[in-house]
Amino acid sequence: MVVMSKFSLKDRIVFITGASAGIGAACARAFAAEGARLLLAARRVDRLQSMEVDLLEAGASAVHAFRLDVQDRAAVERALGKLPEEWRAIDVLVNNAGLSRGLDKLWEGKPQDWEEMIDTNVKGMLWVARVVVAGMVARSRGHVVNLGSTAGELAYPGGNVYCGTKAAVKLINDGLRQDLLGTPVRVSGIDPGMVETEFSEVRFRGDTARAAKVYQNITPLTPDDVADAVVWAVTRPAHVNIAHVLMTPVDQANSLMFNRKG
C-alpha cells in the first residue's frame, strides 16, 4: 500500500481575509503551526499587528498584515495589486470575511443590513477570488477555501438574507471548482454550524446579553475546531480535493435543530 504524504505548507503563502478575530484568527494560528507565511487582511489592522509576535512564535515563517474591507472592489484590487513582490504568489486563499446583521422578517428587514451582508459575504468573496485565482491559474498551483455555513444548507427564521448569502457561497464554490477543472488548483468549502465567536455580537450590533443567549445550554464549535478542518483540507495530498466539509457540534443537527441542556 502506498501512503501519500500530506501537502506541506512550510513557507507557503496563505492569505486569510477577516483574520483579526474568530475563525480567521484561529486559521492564522493553525497555519502558523504549519510553518506558513501568513498574509493577513481585515478592517481592524491594529488587531492583526498585535497578533504578529504570537504568530511568529507559533511557527509562522513570516507575517504581513494590511487593512482591507472586502466590500470595496477597488480597494481589493488596489491592495492586492500593491503587495510586495515577495507576497504576490499566494498559495492558499482562505475566504473567511463574513458577517450577519439582524434577525428581521424579510418585509421588516433593513436594506443597509442586506447590502452589508451581500457585499461582504458574496461580492467580497468574489472580488478577492477574482484577483487571487487568476494568479493561481497562471502559476499552476493553489488552493481556495471558502467559508460557508450550515445556513447555506437550510434556512432558519429571520435568517432570510444571511442564509441566502451562504447558499450563494456554496454554489459559487462548486462553480469555481468546475471552472478550475483541468488545472491543479483546488477548491474547498468549509461549512460550520454554531461556532462561538463575535458573530452574534456583530449580528446584534454589540448586544452581548442577546448574543450570549445564542450559545446558552449548548456546547458550540470553537474557532480552532473550524481552523483544524481548514488546515486538514489544505494539507491533503496534491491529487486530493476536499470539495465540501459540513461540520456541526454534537448538540446541533442542522440550522433548526439544537439540543439545549437544562
What would the DSSP string read from start to end of 189-200?
EEEE--B-SSHH
Query: Could you tell me the residue range of the domain that residue 22 belongs to?
Result: 13-247
Q: Can you give the CATH number for the domain in which 221 is found?
A: 3.40.50.720
Ordered per-residue pLDDT tens for the chain, 262 residues = 666 788 999 999 999 999 999 999 999 999 999 999 999 999 999 999 999 999 999 999 999 999 999 999 999 999 999 999 999 999 999 999 999 999 999 999 999 999 999 999 999 999 999 999 999 999 999 999 999 999 999 999 999 999 999 999 999 999 999 999 999 999 999 999 999 888 778 888 887 888 788 888 999 999 999 999 999 999 999 999 999 999 999 999 999 999 998 7
Are the beta carbons of 242 and 236 closer than 8 angstroms? yes
37 occurs within a structural domain:
yes
Q: Is residue 255 part of a domain?
A: no
140 in a structural domain: yes
**Catalytic positions:** 162
The verdict on residue 3 lying in a domain is no
Query: How many alpha carbons fall within 13 Å on the CB side of residue 231?
Result: 23
